[in-house]
Amino acid sequence: MNRPLAQLRPDVLQIWRAGVAAVDSERLVRAALRVEGDKLLVGTPKLGPAERSDQKPTTASDSQQTILSIDLSAVRRIVVVGAGKAGAGMAAGCEAALGPRIMAAKQVRGWLNVPADCVRPLQAIHLHAARAPGQNEPMPEGVAGAEEILQLVSGADANDLCLALISGGASALLPAPAEGVTLADKLALTRHLSAAGADIHELNTVRKQLSRIKGGGLARACRAGRLITLIISDVIGDPLDVIGSGPTIEDPRSPADALAILERYDARAAGVPQRVFDHLRSRAGAKPIEPTCDVTNLVIANIATGVDAAAAEAQRLGYTPSIIPLAAREGLADDVGAQLARAAIGLSRQPGPDCLVSGGEPVVKLAEPAIRGLGGRNQQLALAALQVFAEANGTDVAFVSGGTDGEDGPCDAAGAVVDAQVIAAAQAAGLDPADFLRRNDAYHFFEPLDALVKTGPTQTNVGDLRVAVTARIETGTATAP
């Protein structure tokens, strides 16, 4: 028994969108913060890994467990700071959770660095345009915003409460170069490491050692009595020191680790200035400075949250989903896309599950600038999957890969979708997937095929979500309860 091929594309996109909706940043923060009388209750989700998708909570109270209870009668002011692609929604959720009474009584004020297309007016928290849309690199506007944040937290005192709202993308949105290092230096270094295939862990190791705010710098600058950080994680495994380059987490790595990464990727030969190396060597052996405030860091959502929700939606639509275990390091997008395509074809040709859901964040090794096209890792991954589908005649499968933040490289797409119609149209147009993959030009491959996924900024970010569904219906498979 088979589903109509035309049903696959709407289904796979609906499943993907359900995963993105589950990590809506405003809703997540409103669920994590709750005022009861003069108490501020701070909670985190009870659920763990994505494999527990059969244990979905039914209400917000069921889904949260209280971690902290703050006596607001002892708090003079509340300061809210942070950065990230989810920052605007998190800030709005924070204001909604605190409510007008607490906002007024505790003189709430704040500042968050966010992408320019996420800026909107809020009651007390200023949203600062720290970079242009689609340009996931630090900019001078981000430096100015980071300085405002450092001044705000350093002006607090022991009677104040500081709430930090951190999400993926904070690294680029929160630049504060170390003394003697310029923003241009960090830009050149980040571009080189990214193009050379460095992963997020390596990038953040270097960036933190060249920053005054990353790697615990925000916590060290804070003079409030208590600092609570709510984190929406975009890194598999939720390593707190890596998410957003860990502005409220002491860096466990050292300048020597950063130097080793620079050497591994031939940064000196690529023209990275000598002063970067000099700064790292000058800090060798320096003792870390402990924060003066009481710091608590809580993860309120991650890619498993989105994967769980996508799997639940697939089940609701009548599919039997299989969740691919999350991997801390995925490798190249080309390889991941090919692997996922082969797995999806396997599902379509044997009994068992008929939907695959996975999350991650692969890397792309960029082509030389002279031939490089347009796209991002999700489009590259989807194009690699299309190539496998086409070669194996896997036209009874639909597949989508997209960034939960609505961004995928320096373009207006979150990712791309592949189905039988897209494959046929590409073949009719004589488009060669291998050529577009070689040039990192997946955007221009998918654009004329109407296969780009465009959401605009979602104001959340937990990494990438991928879904595949097949036309085959296994007789007797379970449906949603």
| pLDDT tier at 263, thresholds 50, 70, 90 | very high
Token pair 């990353």 in the structure block, residue: 214
**Mean pLDDT, rounded, for 149-160:** 98
Strand partners, 295: 227
CB 3 within 8 A of CB 318: no
Q: What is the pLDDT of residues 109-123, one digit of tens each?
A: 999 999 999 999 999
Residue 476 has a pLDDT of 44
**Mean pLDDT, rounded, for 143-168:** 97
pTM of the model: 0.87
Residue 140 has a pLDDT of 96
What's the angle, vertex CA 199, arms to CA 239 and CA 180, rounded to 5?
A: 90
CA distances (Å), origin 15, targets 300, 351, 468: 22, 21, 9
On the CB side of 360, CA atoms within 13 Å amount to 26
**Mean pLDDT, rounded, for 443-462:** 96
Q: What is the pLDDT of residues 59-100, one digit of tens each?
A: 333 455 778 999 999 999 999 999 999 999 999 999 999 999
d(C-alpha 441, C-alpha 217), whole Å? 38
Across the chain, mean pLDDT equals 91
d(C-alpha 479, C-alpha 289), whole Å? 55
Residue 46 has a pLDDT of 59
**Mean pLDDT, rounded, for 303-313:** 96
